[in-house]
């Protein structure tokens, strides 16, 4: 079968399924992205390949997956740029102690429990081509991640963005995001470096790259923003320049051995945060990245996820352990830390629930883990399932813990502007 017609049919089926399942999920008060993630899983061997193996083989022949993967990677680069773009350091102002402690605990607690779990899972779900250190660090990171874009979307939908809880949650998730990706960059670097000298070389390269981005490229980007303000619009040339910088940054981090996505995230994070500039840039890229390309990533993840590998009581027991540790670490850790910093139990519990949302950021991380061979296919399937379950549970648990209808009476808005651009991603 020729490749282009196959690819076009694949994209059509993926897009249709994503919109349809997303719409169904919205009907049960779940974010659109949740449905899209689930649609991806349905298109893989776990459902379509199981129910209709002939149709699955015809729709996704093995030799066509390379094209699909390339498209999904481009989509992820654009998406990670947008995630970085919506991170605004202003949201941290005035919330130092609560944010820093809660954020760091919400990372370290699941990381710690993930490392303990690694002691049990390493001899059972890994092999000796992976060292325990790499396995434990990756599993810890996988337990710690929070989906900043999904969290922002849930807060908006629940009209919580301007409440005390909403502003703290956004700030904590922002710190989590940056810290989580930094830890993952280090883990990837450790796994990919063959020996100590190459590791130091890669670390040196990473340090130099970050310095150049913060001290040099950032200034240049400010000039772009000034040009935008002067003209009042984002011209096609300006847009092309931003895209070129995005591609260059992604290329550098990929060549450094980390991953292209880190470069995309970092350049987004250091972009000037003038609301008009951010909004215009987001508007121009959002539909292509979120509507068209991200569902391809979800479908590709679904194709890589074989729930058939979780095929025994033993395997389901491992999955139960994983999900228990993930929830205990993230929800428990965040709740406890928020309570210690003075929040009420209800608010602290709601914050813990929100931080437990892993969403597509977890899927991004897991695909990187599978690519670098640090997790096995069965563990990948279990962690994908864990990401879906923890994201799915957020809305109903939040409803149960927080009683959203009481929010306007109990908590006064703290005066932080709801940044529309932050909520455009899902």
Measured from the CB of residue 323, what is the shortest distance to another protein in angstroms?
Answer: 17
Closest CA to 350 of 387, 386, 389, 396: 396
Measured from the CB of residue 74, what is the shortest distance to another protein in angstroms?
Answer: 15
Nearer to another protein, 126 or 282 (CB): 126
For residue 126, report the phi and psi dihedrals to the nearest 5 degrees.
Answer: -120, -175
Measured from the CB of residue 164, what is the shortest distance to another protein in angstroms?
Answer: 19
Angle at 385 (CA atoms; ends 335, 169), nearest 5 degrees = 30
Nearer to another protein, 338 or 416 (CB): 338
Helix axes 164-192, 132-144, angle to 10 degrees: 160
List, as one string, the DSSP characters of 219-237: HHHHHHHHHHHHHSS--HH
Closest CA to 177 of 277, 241, 114, 261: 261
| Measured distance CA(303)–CA(10) in Å, rounded | 12
Measured from the CB of residue 312, what is the shortest distance to another protein in angstroms?
Answer: 8
| Measured distance CA(155)–CA(46) in Å, rounded | 32
- All residues at 6 or more sequence positions from 273 whose CB lies less than 8 Å from its CB, including other chains: 88, 89, 90
Measured from the CB of residue 130, what is the shortest distance to another protein in angstroms?
Answer: 7
Closest CA to 294 of 69, 76, 83: 76
Nearer to another protein, 23 or 50 (CB): 50
* Residues that bind another protein in the complex, under the rule CB under 8 A: 45, 62, 65-66, 69, 97, 101, 104-105, 108-109, 111-112, 115-116, 118-119, 122-130, 132-133, 135-137, 140, 300, 303-306, 309, 315, 337, 340, 370-371, 373, 376-381
Nearer to another protein, 83 or 363 (CB): 363
Nearer to another protein, 259 or 304 (CB): 304
Nearer to another protein, 76 or 109 (CB): 109
Measured from the CB of residue 46, what is the shortest distance to another protein in angstroms?
Answer: 10
Nearer to another protein, 301 or 421 (CB): 301
CB distance 282 to 85 below 8 Å: yes
Q: What is the largest CA-CA distance in the chain?
A: 64
Measured from the CB of residue 379, what is the shortest distance to another protein in angstroms?
Answer: 6
| Residue 49 CB-half CA count within 13 A | 18
| Measured distance CA(252)–CA(262) in Å, rounded | 10
CA distance between the termini of the chain: 35
Measured from the CB of residue 76, what is the shortest distance to another protein in angstroms?
Answer: 15
Alpha helices, DSSP H, located in 193-344: 196-211, 218-231, 236-255, 260-270, 275-286, 294-304, 313-327, 333-340
Nearer to another protein, 235 or 324 (CB): 324
Nearer to another protein, 66 or 413 (CB): 66
Closest CA to 393 of 362, 343, 356: 356
Nearer to another protein, 26 or 104 (CB): 104
Measured from the CB of residue 65, what is the shortest distance to another protein in angstroms?
Answer: 4
Closest CA to 323 of 33, 22, 114, 16: 114
Measured from the CB of residue 366, what is the shortest distance to another protein in angstroms?
Answer: 10
> Tokens 């063959």 appear where?
194
Question: Tokens for 270?
Answer: 């250091």
Measured from the CB of residue 61, what is the shortest distance to another protein in angstroms?
Answer: 11
Nearer to another protein, 206 or 315 (CB): 315
| Residue 346 CB-half CA count within 13 A | 11
Question: Tokens for 195?
Answer: 């020996």
């Amino acid at each position: 079968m020729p490749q282009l017609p196959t690819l076009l049919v694949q994209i059509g089926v993926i897009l249709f399924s994503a919109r349809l399942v997303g719409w169904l999920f919205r009907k049960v008060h779940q974010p659109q992205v949740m449905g899209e993630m689930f649609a991806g899983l349905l298109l893989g061997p776990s459902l379509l390949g199981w129910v209709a193996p002939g149709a699955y083989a015809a729709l996704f022949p093995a030799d066509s997956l390379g094209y699909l993967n390339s498209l999904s990677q481009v989509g992820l680069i654009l998406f990670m740029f947008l995630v970085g773009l919506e991170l605004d350091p202003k949201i941290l102002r005035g919330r130092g102690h609560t944010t820093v402690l809660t954020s760091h605990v919400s990372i370290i607690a699941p990381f710690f429990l993930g490392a303990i779990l690694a002691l049990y899972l390493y001899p059972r779900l890994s092999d000796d081509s992976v060292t325990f250190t790499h396995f434990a660090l990756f599993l810890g990171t996988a337990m710690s991640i929070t989906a900043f874009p999904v969290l922002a979307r849930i807060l908006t939908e629940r009209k919580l963005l301007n409440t005390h809880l909403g502003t703290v949650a956004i700030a904590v998730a922002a710190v989590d995001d940056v810290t989580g990706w930094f830890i993952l960059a280090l883990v990837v670097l450790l796994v990919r470096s063959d020996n100590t000298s190459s590791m130091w070389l890669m670390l040196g390269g990473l340090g130099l790259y970050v310095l150049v981005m913060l001290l040099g490229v950032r200034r240049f980007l400010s000039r772009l923003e000034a040009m935008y303000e002067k003209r009042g619009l984002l011209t096609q040339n300006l847009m092309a320049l931003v895209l070129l910088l995005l591609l260059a940054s992604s290329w550098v981090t990929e060549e450094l051995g980390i991953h292209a996505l880190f470069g995309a995230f970092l350049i987004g994070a250091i972009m000037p945060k003038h609301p008009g500039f951010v909004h215009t840039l987001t508007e121009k890229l959002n539909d292509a990245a979120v509507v068209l390309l991200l569902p391809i990533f979800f479908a590709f993840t679904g194709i890589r996820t074989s729930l058939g590998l979780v095929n025994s009581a033993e395997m389901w027991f491992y999955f139960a352990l994983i999900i228990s540790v993930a929830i205990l670490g993230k929800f428990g850790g965040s709740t406890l830390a928020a309570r210690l910093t003075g929040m009420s139990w209800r608010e602290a519990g709601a914050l813990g629930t929100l931080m437990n949302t892993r969403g597509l950021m977890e899927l991004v991380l897991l695909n990187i883990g599978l690519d670098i061979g640090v997790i096995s296919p069965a563990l990948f399937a279990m962690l994908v399932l864990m990401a879906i379950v923890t994201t799915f549970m957020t809305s109903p648990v939040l409803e149960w813990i927080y009683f959203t209808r009481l929010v306007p009476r109990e908590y006064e808005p703290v005066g932080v502007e709801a940044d529309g651009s932050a909520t455009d991603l899902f």
